[in-house]
Chain A
Amino acid sequence: NAGVTQTPKFRVLKTGQSMTLLCAQDMNHEYMYWYRQDPGMGLRLIHYSVGEGTTAKGEVPDGYNVSRLKKQNFLLGLESAAPSQTSVYFCASSPLEDEQYFGPGTRLTVT
């Protein structure tokens, strides 16, 4: 099992550009999450999904959109990137409200 994978691992964007981060899990987990991690702060929840076809806002959803068309995939989109979105993004999945399994992270820089 690959567990939770994230694509890409690194990305540099210019302000205003768009991109999609892909998260995939092969553990048949119902719940999936997108977090961002910034220096001096704890992980913060951007969006989450409790099942295929469902999404919900987390603590810091502005500027991001998500989709969960397939159970194993959770996509995070930035429509118009801003420097404030420079961060490390982590995806996670869990079987219901249980321990979470994290992906390796995506380091995004917006210039």
Chain B
Amino acid sequence: AQSVTQLGSHVSVSEGALVLLRCNYSSSVPPYLFWYVQYPNQGLQLLLKYTTGATLVKGINGFEAEFKKSETSFHLTKPSAHMSDAAEYFCAVSDSGANSKLTFGKGITLSVRP
């Protein structure tokens, strides 16, 4: 069985500050890992994914994440927060490929202060 842990439910940063959203996973097989963003009253939008290969993954809107097998982590970062980054962020894991069933974490709400 797979699981995802996103510690904390809310992160607040100042505009221009580093964004760090943590994600730890559990999987019995090499995982496929994802970060999704959800704006109010909208569906989930894929930010980035790790399948195989390079462990540092770059996504849309300046976000990136690093797969660390030894730490079972896939933390999301962005060097400089923008007001438009305020949203809910979900980490997810799949053990069967990028088009297979996903197990999501509970999500983290990111607030950006002016």
Same assembly: no
Residues of A within 8 A of B (CB): none
